[in-house]
Amino acid sequence: MIVWHPPSGGLPIFILRTMKKHILVTGGTGYIGSHMVVRLIEAGMEPIIFDNFSNSKPAVVDRIEMITGKRPTLVRGDIRDEKALEKLFTDYPIDAVINFAGRKAVGESEADPLLYFSYNVEGTIVLLRVMKKFGVKEFVFSSSATVYGDPGYDEFDESTPLAPINNYGLSKWMIEEVLRKTFKAEPDWSIAILRYFNPVGAHESGLIGEDPNGIPNNLMPFISQVAVGRRASLKVFGNDYPTRDGTGARDYIHVQDLVEGHLDALRVLDGKPQLLTVNLGTGGNTTVLELVKAFEKASGKHIPYEICPRRAGDKAAYWTNPELARELLGWTAKRGIFDKGSHSRAFSFLCQKRNPRIFIRRFHNGLVPFRKAD
């Protein structure tokens, strides 16, 4: 919002900003970040990607260009590197920041807590410090439902007590606390804390999706890699939970719905001083075996799996009440994970990723036009 004061001394006039917003997307070549960059370009904004490729690949930028017809600005760097961030803010106009950078594996966070507190907490503090130095105070933070822990019931809303039970969730809670304390001390900040439930799916083109470096930590990319032969079988941890089929149940949200929530958060923030916190989920739940069967039906591929003992710290089931997101952001999840094509798109993405060099070379030679998936 721009406030214009007439020279005659009349009442100020409030004008919505019509200029193109420049959005810094940290972790912008990752799973959610890449979908966010695509959506920002489609919305007429100018995303600037800052990523160290610790869990992604530079080729993602080629695929973003294939989808949008526009190549986003890419700067390689680590958000813990204060001088690199200062150079970034000096070199490019930045109006707001969406922070996806960080580590996100629960097991790894327990094995190496210092790594997680360094990447997630220290990195975000460095980023906020540089933002403050350059007068940029609009910030959308990628948080997680893991901040809730296990309150003894399954449907979480924003009033559910915060009691993370693993170091990944603890790192997200610590960042949230930093943001709450910062806003209390400096109430001119404009901050949205978005607590994700379980993102799945891929872009409708099949060109970007979840394809992490190394062994996947999330269920859907693991299923996809089993489908294309990159993994022998899926490990299902526990089949004796009090759920419909004994396997764990989660609130799976399509990644494209998730990025719409970020776009709505930017629209609501619009540089106005405020701190809002909302859950982003569907309000429903799906078990592990239900997700496997849905993928098999959509892809035509059998997914072999083996039942393993429960993992320590895993909760049987949880999902969100999405009402506050609807109220504050005007946002609701529109894509179901059982919608036609949602799993086959994730599958086609991973099939293409089996030979990315040939695929990208063919793109640069003009041999692979973008076509929406059926």
User: Is residue 224 very low, low, confident or very high in pLDDT (cuts 50, 70, 90)?
Assistant: confident
What's phi and psi for 233, nearest 5 deg?
-160, 165
Place of tokens 């089949």: 239
Residue 127 scores a pLDDT above 70 = yes
Amino acid at 114: L
The per-residue pLDDT of the chain, averaged, comes to 86
Quote the CA–CA distance of 332 and 324 in Å, as a whole number.
Answer: 10
Give percent of the chain with pLDDT exceeding 70: 83
Domains delineated in the chain: 22-364 (3.40.50.720)
Quote the CA–CA distance of 117 and 126 in Å, as a whole number.
Answer: 12
User: Is residue 202 very low, low, confident or very high in pLDDT (cuts 50, 70, 90)?
Assistant: confident
Q: Of 168, 196, 241, 252, which residue is the catalytic one? A: 168
Amino acid at 13: I
What's phi and psi for 64, nearest 5 deg?
-60, -40
The model's pTM: 0.86
Quote the CA–CA distance of 71 and 61 in Å, as a whole number.
Answer: 7
pLDDT tens digits along 131-157: 999 999 999 999 999 999 889 999 999
Question: Which secondary structure element, helix H or strand E, spans residue 328, and what is its range?
Answer: helix 323-329
Q: Which two tokens stand for residue 327?
A: 């109220």
Q: Which of 6-15, 176-185, 297-306 has the lowest mean pLDDT?
A: 6-15
DSSP annotation of 69 reads S
Q: Which of 22-31, 187-196, 290-299, 333-342 has the lowest mean pLDDT?
A: 333-342
**Has 168 been annotated as catalytic?**
yes
Question: Which secondary structure element, helix H or strand E, spans residue 68, and what is its range?
Answer: helix 59-68
Burial of 261 (0-12, 13-18, 19+ CB in 10 A): buried
- Which pLDDT belongs to residue 108? 83
Question: Which secondary structure element, helix H or strand E, spans residue 130, and what is its range?
Answer: helix 123-133
User: Is residue 217 very low, low, confident or very high in pLDDT (cuts 50, 70, 90)?
Assistant: low
pLDDT tens digits along 269-320: 999 999 999 999 999 999 999 999 988 988 888 999 999 999 877 889 999 9
> Residue 222's CB: how many other CB atoms inside 10 A?
21
Residue 361 scores a pLDDT above 50 = no
Distances (CA, A) of 67 to 64, 206, 207, 282: 5, 10, 8, 26
- Which pLDDT belongs to residue 346? 59
Nearest C-alpha neighbor of 47 from the set 31, 64, 59: 64
**Cα 60 from chain centroid?**
15
- Which pLDDT belongs to residue 209? 83
Burial of 301 (0-12, 13-18, 19+ CB in 10 A): middle
